[in-house]
Every structure is written in structure tokens, then in C-alpha cells.
Amino acid sequence: MNIETKNLIKTYNDTTVLNLTDEHSRLFFESGKIHGILGPNGSGKSTLMKIMAGLIPQTSGDVLYDGHPEDFDTQRAITYSSHRPILFSRSVFENIAYPLKIRKQPKDEIQSIVTELLDEFEISEIQNHDAKKISGGESQKTALARALSFSPQVLLLDEPTANIDPKSVKLIESVLLKRIESQGLTVIIITHNLSQAFRICDTLTFLDQGKCLYSGPSHGLIESSNPFIHEFISFNTLKA
């Protein structure tokens, strides 16, 4: 599913936190690719993603899904996961199975799908553990497995690998790349990890103070003439 924004504005209490209205701010996220969203804290990244997920309304402008406004079918084809996943106080297995149960999938299919995801994310050994009591990395993997359980068309991820160990980061990236290849879903990921952005993203969008400073192929970000982008890249490269 392709996602496109047109003249998008979001305001809170008369303060504009997102203003994507100039000629360079018509964003397009093509299906079958991984798209990264970068920028400093408070730049509007999460606001943009939550609007695309249908979690909050825009003040004005449009978000189009394959050329159409959001409807019920679109909502059911999109899944969103944040860096602080909300897991139920139930087993890891039950958390992953939840989207399938509410879609009334047969029990044998649920068992098969969840078992495969547990293996894929290497969390089979904790499938009976209370999801509220597992580690941060295990929580992220459980949340992502749950998000993928019903084979969505669009996967929106807000810092899915923040503060987790390198092995888990590598595993999550590998799963995303495999899903892109096998299912052609659209993945949009917010990340502060510049190395990750260049490693797995086909395109990058850079936001600052609610405005888009760059949107295009990943390699083009380095070639941008914007001094703020250069400063951001230099600082994060040194920090890494």
C-alpha cells in the first residue's frame, strides 16, 4: 500500500507542530520498501506517524492510501508499534495471538502462525511468560511479532530497536527485510540510529520543527546542502 501526504498540518493549542505544506513536503511512501523518518526530538516524527496510523487526526490536509482517504479496510491493513509497546498482562503467546483472535481466525491457524513467529523472533522459550515481566528487548520482539501476526500491508514503527542489544537489533532488521521481500509490505520506521537508517532504509525523510528538510533516496541525505542536516549527521556519526 502506497501512502501519500498532501498539505498536512497539525496544531495543538494554537501551536503548529507539523507543517508539511511547501512544494518539497508532499511525502510519498512506496509499497515494498522501508522508509526512515529522522530528525531531532520534537521535530514532529511521532506526530506524523500517528496521523498516518489513524491514531490522531490532522488539523488540515490529507493522507491518502493507494490514492484514497482512510476507511475501515485501510485501518485493518495498518499496524503501529512504538518503542514503549503496550503489552497485555497475559502470556507472550496470547499477546501475539490477540490480533488473530479478534479477527476470528481458526484456532489451528492461530497456533501455527504464532508458533512460527515465536521461532522467527527467537522467543519460543518465553511464550508462557507474563508479557509484563519480560525484558525490553523481548518486549520489542513480542510487540513486533504481534504487529506482523495478521500480515498487515503497512507497518509503522516508532523506534522499534531503541535501547535493545545489538543481537536483537540485527534480528529485527533481518525480519523486516525478509517481510519486505516475501510480502511486499510498506514499512515506515522512526529511528535515531543513523547507521540503521542507511543500512536498511530505501528512502529517508528528515524533519525539523515540524517541517520537512529532505525526503528522498537514503544516499541523497548525505548530499543535502542543508547545514542543519550536515550538523545532525556529523553529531550522530561521532556519537555512534
Domain carrying residue 19: 3-88+153-239
Q: What is the grid cell recorded at 189?
A: 520506521
pLDDT computed for residue 122 by the predictor:
94
pLDDT computed for residue 237 by the predictor:
65
- HEC profile of the chain: CCEEEEEEEEEECCEEEEEECCCCCCCEECCCCEEEEECCCCCCHHHHHHHHCCCCCCCEEEEEECCECCCHHHHHHEEEECCCCCCCCCEHHHHHHHHHHHCCCCHHHHHHHHHHHHHHCCCHHHCCCEHHHCCHHHHHHHHHHHHHCCCCCEEEEECCCCCCCHHHHHHHHHHHHHHHHHHCCEEEEECCCHHHHHHHCCEEEEEECCEEEEEEEHHHHHCCCCHHHHHHHHHHHHHC
Say if 102 falls within a structural domain.
Answer: no
Say if 44 falls within a structural domain.
Answer: yes
Say if 146 falls within a structural domain.
Answer: no
Q: What is the grid cell recorded at 44?
A: 514532529
Q: What is the grid cell recorded at 232?
A: 545532525
pLDDT computed for residue 18 by the predictor:
95
Digit-by-digit pLDDT tens for the chain (240 residues) are: 999 999 999 999 889 999 999 877 889 999 999 999 999 988 999 999 999 999 999 999 999 999 999 988 888 899 998 888 889 999 999 999 999 999 999 999 999 999 999 999 999 999 999 999 999 889 999 999 999 999 899 999 999 888 788 898 999 999 999 988 888 899 999 998 888 999 999 999 999 999 999 999 999 998 888 889 988 888 776 454
Say if 65 falls within a structural domain.
Answer: yes
Say if 147 falls within a structural domain.
Answer: no
* Bridge partners (DSSP) listed for residue 130: 91
pLDDT computed for residue 240 by the predictor:
46
* Mean pLDDT of the chain, nearest integer: 91
Say how many domains are in the chain. Answer: 1
Say if 167 falls within a structural domain.
Answer: yes
* Bridge partners (DSSP) listed for residue 18: 10
Q: Report the CATH number that the domain containing residue 160 is assigned in CATH.
A: 3.40.50.300
Say if 169 falls within a structural domain.
Answer: yes
Say if 113 falls within a structural domain.
Answer: no
